[in-house]
Structures are given as structure tokens and as C-alpha cells.
Amino acid sequence: MKILKTLVFLGMLLATGMAGATALSSYTFDSKEEEQAFRDFTAELRCLVCQNQSLAESDADLADDLRREVYTMWRQGRPQEEIIDFLVSRYGDFVLYDPPLKPSTYILWFGPFLLFVAGVVVLMRTLKRKNEDREVELTEEDKQRLSELLQDANENQDSKI
Amino acid sequence: MIPEIGHFALILALCLAIAQAVFPLAGSLNNTPSWVALARPLAWGQALFLGIAIGALTYSFLVNDFSVSYVAYNSNTRLPIVYKISAVWGAHEGSLLLWAFFLGAWGAAIAIFSRHLAREVVGRVLAVMGMINIGFLLFMLITSNPFERMFPIPAEGRDLNPLLQDPGLALHPPTLYLGYVGFSVAFGFAIAALIGGRLDASWARWSRPWTTVAWVWLTLGITIGSWWAYYELGWGGWWFWDPVENASFMPWLAGTALMHSLAVTEKRGAFRSWTVMLALLAFSLSLLGTFLVRSGVLTSVHAFAADPARGLFILIFLLVVVGGSLALYAWRAPTIFGGGRFDLISRESFLLGNNLLLTVLTFLILFGTLAPLIYDAMNWGKISVGFPWFNRMFLMVTPFLAILLGFGPLMHWKRTDGAALMRKLRIAAIVSIVIGLIGFWPAISNGSLLVPLGLFLAAWLVTSLVVSIRDRLKHKRGLGGFLSDFGSSGGRSYYGMVLGHLGVAMFILGATMVSNHGIEKDVRMAPGESAEISGYRFVFDGVTRTPGPNFIANRGKFRVFRGDDEITILEPEKRTYLVQQMPMTEAAIDWGLTRDLYVSLGEDLGGGDWSMRLYYKPFVRWIWLGGLFMAFGGILAVTDPRYRSLKRKKKQEAPAGAAAPASLATENN
């Protein structure tokens, strides 16, 4: 699944890391990179008792317990997929900020593409039509009528002011 | 007594709103000018009574009248005066009152600045705004009355939520609401035009400055909100794709599309029905946003609303407004024809592309925001849609938007010579591609493809704007040439556009840099210890207890060194607010154009040790500077002389007395 998603979104999966981080000060890591990777990983997990906060930044007790559990698994060298599977089996997809790709979420993942494609189709058709539209040529009669109308309009306007 | 006056004023405002919704509209349809003429005085009356209501509530806060339950729940005798005032809109009931008051104020503004407009049009616009305010006032009086008394009267108030005791929050809701409510004017104009069947260039020209002003407020509101979240929540982030944030971003996107589409409708008479649709959309999304936030449906995904009556009211009101306006659109819009032809390469087609992308973005965010609700309602399971999904989808669309944006200002209406355009932009393209390629260099890219992309797009926007300015000034020399162009009719609109687009470039640069080069570090330090990030050394000097007006703070002291030079002292606080016993982090920030240094205090670990977070945030200020540039661009555009030529004309023709209002309105010819 992960591979498919990566293929679908090319390089876009490279996380941008907009979320913050918290009290990892009591955890030890082998390197700065590992700490950052752990932070990025927990930033995509939802704190279940908070309003809308990730596990990386929540100070709630429950978040702290879960973070510790994730940290233990992480330090045991279990792969991320396995940790995710474990969390999902316990808490459901709700715990993942990045919704998984599976039949029930196809609409979430591919809906926007359909929207985009539909938009482009409408755009193309409009452009084509507008491109083929003819500029309306005014006949002599039309022009005369137009200038009369404009005259009227101007007089009206003056009287209003 | 005073709260009852406020309550009574609300009821009177509702009565006036009903009259305002009925008589001017009915009068415009059955040719009864005296009914139509009621619109202006009614709008004035509504603004007046809503002003009295909000004044009464403010007074209740200032005198600590805890018999008013809204005051009791959101204030305290020890709350500083500034926050007593901002507490007026600090919670549900009061923020609705602010909304209604702003709607009244916009109505009064229309009454002032629309004297040259046909009375039927003004009548209809004000009637539509009256209808909207009926909804809000009813909602307030039935389910959320801010003036409700409580008994027994508590001796002390529960205090304002400490998160909201901050200058950013004093400013954020009013600016945001001015934007939300401002789109009701564009909405009113669209509905009025649909009813009257007159949707011409003058309609577009008239709604344009109003739309821009509303958009400016919304831009400022979102910018201030993001800045507030950054320093107040202590998490160092500036956007989380939280539903509440999305609720403000959607109308902004739709409003941005509307501004651009209105330009085409005004100048070329094209896209009329599309423009109307966007006006309906922008306001509908404002309403949806307000209500999603206010009903609590999104903060707590499990219950539709804390109070089922509120939820139901909201749902019905939304259905009436959105459904009603869409039905009217479906009925009347097919009668709207218009617009001349244009080529594939023309300003029209590029603006249409801009509109398409902005609309796709809007719906994408709407979809992602509502998806958890939809899944829950359909029993498809509980899901979360968070920042990874939004970032990915957002990044799929925005690069195209930014590329189009570079071309836009150089395009001509109707037809652009593609080869000439390419010649003009050749150097800009080369320069920005080179800058993008430099971005691949590991020290700059930091391993992310987004850095070269972001640098390329920012450079492309800036260089193409430079080309556009040179193109515009090619027959004018020096500073004098620029100044005369700036002062000319349409000059400020153009330079406003330049500033706005420059703001986009600044935002892209800031977001790219801070997202990929930001450093954060969680550390545990004892007094005297130090930690280093990105060449800055933070020396921790310990924590002292410092009392505040309604809180006690633990204030940490950090001396920050670069090399051997001490560059600043940072004093972050961990506050405990006395009444709500809520801990709050107050981050300390040393800000700069190229980087912020940010310290937020964590927990007391005993023995003088504290946990803390240190951040290095490169170019983060550019995100909000970009927002300010966009807003300032909008202000520049609405002060364009061409919107004032009517005023001059009036003054010339009626020199004695009759001071012409400082009109936002447009010339007639």
C-alpha cells in the first residue's frame, strides 16, 4: 500500500514537517537524524484524547503513555509499518493523520484527481468554445441605435447628478 | 438594567432586519419607491441597535456584571481591561453578536457609499443582508443569548480562557469576521443581480472594491491567526490544517478566485455567471466556516453540537441560504449571456485557469475537512485527515497556480502574442530555473525536492513581476515616470496587484525554508548548562517565580550566544492561570527577517532541571510578511483613483455644501 501511494504521489511524499514537537527530552536517540525521524513519525499519529494534536506535540498523559509505547517499539527496531499496524488494530484508522489507502478510502485519495480532471475538461471546453466564438459584427443600423442609446444614457446620468 | 437594554436592542434589530428584508425587495418588485427608500434608514437603524447591544455587553464586562452568565463564564475581576474588551467576542454568544454587528456595520457602509447607485439595486442588496441578519439574530435570541442572566449571582467570574488572553487573539476574530461578513456584500450584489437580471460590467465594477476590502480583512485575519498560533501555542508551527483553520482558508480561496473573476467581468464582460457563482460560494463558505466552528461539530467529531437545538438551527439556516441562493442561480443564471471571444493565449484564459485551480483547491480542502464527518455519518469507520494528506494535495495544485501567476500580469486581454510573451519572459524563466537548480545543492535542499521547487516558484514570481513592471514603464523614465504611473488611473490597482503577487512569492519562500530547514530540539537542562542549535548557543540561567495580574509565571532566562557574542536574552514563561488552573506556555522569540530563535519552557523536572524546546525557524516571518503584502496590495488597489473619479465629478458639479462621501464607488461612464 505504501509503495502504491508513493508511486501515485511521486516525490510529494517527502514530508514537509509543518507540525511541532514536544517533550522528547527524556528519550535517548543514537543520532540527531534518528530523533528527527521519530519526531516526524509521531507527528503523523493522532493523540486520541486531544482536540486535534499529534502524538509528537501533545502533553496529555495518555499521549505520553502511547508515545512511550511507540518509542519502545521504535527502539526495538520494529519497522514503522508494524508499529502502525499495531496502533491501527488497537485504535482504528482514526489514529493516523495520513489516512491509509484501501478500498474505503479510494474516494479520499482519488476524488481530488477526478475533481481536478473534471475542472480541466470544463476549462478546455470553455476555452475551445470561446476561441471559436465569433465577434458579433455590428450593422450600420445597430451602430446608429447604439449611439442613440448612449446619448440617452448620458443625458439620464447628467440629470441624476 | 444595561444587559436588558442590550437584549432589547437585539430584539429591535431583529424587527428592523425583518422589515429590511421585506420592504425594499417587495418595493423593488412592485414599483413602490417609498418601500425601497426604507432600505437605507433601516440599515442605519440596524447598525445602531446592534452597536447598542455590543456596547451593553462590553459595559457588562467592564463593570464585572457576573449576573450575566456570559460575563461570568468569560471574565474575572482580575482580568486586565484589554482582555475584558476582547472577551466580548471570546466565546460563542459574543462572537455571534460581533458577527451580527459587523453585518449591520457593512449594511450602514453600503447605505453611505452607494448614493449614486440605482435605488432598486441598493434596496435589494440591503434586503439580502437583512435576511442574513434575521438568521443570525434569531439564532442568538433563540439558542445563544449573550445577555442571559444567571441566579444566584457568582461572586467571581470563571475567567477568560488563558489561550485567548493575548493581543493576537484580541485582533484575530474581529479582522477575520470583517472578512467573512464582508463577503455578504458581494453575495448581496450577486443575489440582487440575479433577481434583477442585470449583470453587467457596472455590476462587477461596483462589487469589486467591496470584495477586495472583505478579502483584505480576511487575509489579515488569517495572517494574524497563524502568527498567534505560532507564538501562543508554543508548538512552533504556523499551520496545521486544523478544521478551524480550513474554515477560514476556504472562503479566502473562493474570494481570491472571485476577485480575479470580477476583473474579467468588469473589463471584458465575460464569465458573468461564473463570477456570480463564486460570489455565492465565497459567502456560503464563510457561513459554513463560522458555523462549523461555532457549532463545535468539528472540534468534537463525535457530537453534532453541544446543544442539539443549535446544531439543528445551524443546519436549517445553512440549507436555506445555500439552497435558496443556488436555486435562484439555477433559475436565473441561464438567462445571463455575455462576454466576447478570446484566444487560448489571453489574459481571460489564464484567469480562467487561475479560477479553476483556486476552485479545485477550495473543494479539495472542503472535502478533506468534511471527510471524517462523512465517513462517520455513512458508517464507513472513523478516519482522520490530517496535514500529510492536505500538504500533498495542496502541493499538487499550487505549483501550477504559481506558474500561471507569473504569466498573468504580462498577458493582454483577448489575445496575446505567444512568441512575444516568451521573448519577454525568457530571461525570467532562465534565472528562476537556475535558482531552482541551485536549490538541488544538498546544503540548500536538505534532502527535499520541495526546496528547489519552492525556490524556483518564488524566483519565477519575482522575476516575472520585474518583467511586467519594466514592460509597463518602458515609455517612462526614472522615478518621475514611476510616480506619474503610480498616480494615474489604474496605477494603484496595478501596483497593488504587484504587491499582492510579491506577497505570494514571499509566502512560498518562507514556507519552503521553515518547513525544510527548521530545527527543533527537546532538551533537559540544569541552570548553567547550555545547548546549541544551528550555531546559536542557549545558556540556561534558571527559572524564577514571577506573579502576573491573574497568573503566576515560572520565568526562565536564556542568554543566547552566537560565537562569543551575546545577541539576546530570552525569557519564556510557563504560566498557571489562577482561576482555571490551566498551565500555559508563553514562548520567547527573538525574531529576525532571516530567522527566529524560539524557546518554549516545558516541565519542571525537579532539582532546578527543566525540559524545554528550542527552535531555529529560518525565514518564518516571510510567511506573515507575505500575508501583509497581499493585504496591503488589496488596500492599494481599492484606493485607486479610478474608483474615486465619481467623487471628483460630484464635487465639481455640486461645489456648494453637500460634501460628497468618500466613495468607494466607481465611475459611471
Q: How far apart are CA B163 and CA B239, in angstroms?
A: 17
Q: Give B-chain residues touching A161 at CB under 8 angstroms.
A: 116, 649-650, 653-654
Between A31 and B503, residue with greater pLDDT: B503
Q: What pLDDT was estimated at residue B56?
A: 97
Q: How far is A47 from chain B (nearest CA, A)?
A: 11
Does residue B356 belong to the interface with chain A, where contact is any CB pair within 8 Å?
yes
Partner residue opposite A23 with nearest CB, options B371, B603, B654 = B603
Distance spanning both ends of chain A, measured CA to CA: 70
Q: What pLDDT was estimated at residue A128?
A: 80
- Interface A:B, Cβ pairs < 8 A: 161
Q: Give B-chain residues touching A157 at CB under 8 angstroms.
A: 668-669
Query: What's the whole-number average pLDDT of chain B?
Result: 88
Q: How far apart are CA B444 and CA B441, in angstroms?
A: 5
**Same domain flag for A54 and A116:** no
Subunit contact A25:B612, Cβ cutoff 8 A:
yes
**Mean pLDDT in residue range B333-345:** 70
**Mean pLDDT in residue range A105-117:** 88
Decide if A44 contacts A35 (C-beta within 8 A). no
**Same domain flag for A12 and A86:** yes
Sequence-separated (6 or more) residues with CB below 8 Å from residue B61? B71, B75, B84, B85, B87, B88
Does residue B51 belong to the interface with chain A, where contact is any CB pair within 8 Å?
no
Subunit contact A119:B242, Cβ cutoff 8 A:
no
Subunit contact A130:B387, Cβ cutoff 8 A:
no
Q: What pLDDT was estimated at residue B335?
A: 62
Between B250 and B489, residue with greater pLDDT: B250
**Same domain flag for A90 and A136:** no
Q: What pLDDT was estimated at residue B332?
A: 83
Give A4's pLDDT tier (boundaries 50, 70, 90).
Answer: very low
**Mean pLDDT in residue range B393-409:** 92
Q: How far is B340 from chain A (nearest CA, A)?
A: 6
**Same domain flag for A155 and A87:** no
Q: What pLDDT was estimated at residue B214?
A: 96
* Number of structural domains chain A divides into: 2
**Same domain flag for A110 and A97:** no
Q: How far is CA B443 from CA B379, B515, B521, in A?
A: 48, 15, 20
Decide if B88 contacts B54 (C-beta within 8 A). yes
**Same domain flag for A72 and A139:** no
Q: How far apart are CA B345 and CA B351, in angstroms?
A: 11
Residue of B nearest to A131 (CA): B343
SS3 B265: helix
Q: How far is A150 from chain B (nearest CA, A)?
A: 10
Q: How far apart are CA A16 and CA B517, in angstroms?
A: 10
Does residue A131 belong to the interface with chain B, where contact is any CB pair within 8 Å?
yes
Q: How far apart are CA B510 and CA B629, in angstroms?
A: 13
**Mean pLDDT in residue range B169-197:** 91
Reference B636, options B213, B256, B248; nearest CA is: B213
Show the domain range for A40.
2-101
Q: State the residue for C-alpha cell 493582454.
A: B412
Which of A80, A88, A127 is the mutation pick for testing B, counting most B CBs within 10 A?
A: A127
Does residue A153 belong to the interface with chain B, where contact is any CB pair within 8 Å?
no
Subunit contact B352:A127, Cβ cutoff 8 A:
yes
Q: Rounded to two decimals, what is the model's pTM?
A: 0.88
Between B595 and A147, residue with greater pLDDT: B595
Q: pLDDT tens-digit profile of B580-635?
A: 787 888 899 999 999 999 999 888 888 888 988 899 999 999 999 999 999 999 99
Query: What's the whole-number average pLDDT of chain A?
Result: 74
**Same domain flag for A60 and A123:** no
Subunit contact B353:A123, Cβ cutoff 8 A:
yes
Q: pLDDT tens-digit profile of B620-651?
A: 999 999 999 999 999 999 988 777 655 545 44
Residue A10, pLDDT > 60, answer: no
**Mean pLDDT in residue range B232-261:** 89
**Same domain flag for A113 and A92:** no
Percentage of the residues of chain A whose pLDDT score is greater than 90:
10
**Same domain flag for A115 and A95:** no
- For B:611-650, CB contacts with A below 8 A are 611-613, 649-650
Decide if B179 contacts B282 (C-beta within 8 A). no
Subunit contact A126:B367, Cβ cutoff 8 A:
no
- For A:8-37, CB contacts with B below 8 A are 9, 11-26
Q: What pLDDT was estimated at residue B333?
A: 76
Which of A16-20, B121-125, B176-180, B309-313 is the least confident region? A16-20
Reference A127, options B535, B155, B270, B201; nearest CA is: B270
**Mean pLDDT in residue range A114-128:** 85
Subunit contact B382:A20, Cβ cutoff 8 A:
no
Which of A12-26, B144-158, B322-336 is the least confident region? A12-26
Q: How far apart are CA B570 and CA B283, in angstroms?
A: 43
Q: Domains of chain B: which residue ranges?
A: 2-334, 524-621
Subunit contact B613:A22, Cβ cutoff 8 A:
yes
Q: How far is A113 from chain B (nearest CA, A)?
A: 9
Q: Give B-chain residues touching A132 at CB under 8 angstroms.
A: 341
Subunit contact A99:B520, Cβ cutoff 8 A:
no
Which of A8, A13, A22 is the mutation pick for testing B, counting most B CBs within 10 A?
A: A22
Q: Give A-chain residues touching B357 at CB under 8 angstroms.
A: 119
Sequence-separated (6 or more) residues with CB below 8 Å from residue B513? B454, B618, B619, B620, B622
**Mean pLDDT in residue range B207-221:** 95
Distance spanning both ends of chain B, measured CA to CA: 53
Decide if B575 contacts B166 (C-beta within 8 A). no
**Same domain flag for A52 and A116:** no
Subunit contact B386:A54, Cβ cutoff 8 A:
yes
SS3 A58: coil
Q: What pLDDT was estimated at residue A161?
A: 37
**Same domain flag for A83 and A21:** yes
Subunit contact B385:A97, Cβ cutoff 8 A:
yes
Percentage of the residues of chain B whose pLDDT score is greater than 70:
93
Degrees, nearest 5: CA angle B358-B366-A44: 105
Residue A137, pLDDT > 90, answer: no
Point out the domain boundary residue: A101, A132, A149.
Answer: A101
Subunit contact B522:A15, Cβ cutoff 8 A:
no
Q: What pLDDT was estimated at residue B414?
A: 81
- For B:493-552, CB contacts with A below 8 A are 515-516, 518, 520, 522-524
Does residue A67 belong to the interface with chain B, where contact is any CB pair within 8 Å?
no
Phi, then psi, of B569 in degrees rounded to 5: -115, 130
Subunit contact B384:A99, Cβ cutoff 8 A:
yes
Subunit contact A19:B653, Cβ cutoff 8 A:
no
Q: pLDDT tens-digit profile of B459-510?
A: 999 999 999 999 888 888 778 888 888 888 888 999 999 999 999 999 999 9
Which of A84-88, B159-163, B208-212, B389-393 is the least confident region? B159-163
- For B:266-285, CB contacts with A below 8 A are 270
In CATH, what number is assigned to the domain containing residue A78? 1.10.8.640
- For A:42-61, CB contacts with B below 8 A are 44, 46, 51-52, 54, 57
Q: How far apart are CA B478 and CA B472, in angstroms?
A: 13
Q: How far apart are CA B396 and CA B402, in angstroms?
A: 11
Q: What pLDDT was estimated at residue B626?
A: 97
Q: How far is B231 from chain A (nearest CA, A)?
A: 12
Subunit contact A120:B356, Cβ cutoff 8 A:
yes
Subunit contact B237:A19, Cβ cutoff 8 A:
yes
The sign of the CA dihedral B78, B590, B446, B451 is positive
Q: Give A-chain residues touching B353 at CB under 8 angstroms.
A: 123
Q: How far apart are CA B223 and CA B622, in angstroms?
A: 11
Which of A87, A108, A123 is the mutation pick for testing B, counting most B CBs within 10 A?
A: A108
Give A22's pLDDT tier (boundaries 50, 70, 90).
Answer: very low
Partner residue opposite A119 with nearest CB, options B242, B360, B611 = B360
Residue of A nearest to B397 (CA): A116
Residue B152: cis peptide before it, omega within 30 degrees of 0: yes
**Same domain flag for A29 and A88:** yes
Partner residue opposite B388 with nearest CB, options A44, A92, A123 = A44
Does residue B293 belong to the interface with chain A, where contact is any CB pair within 8 Å?
no
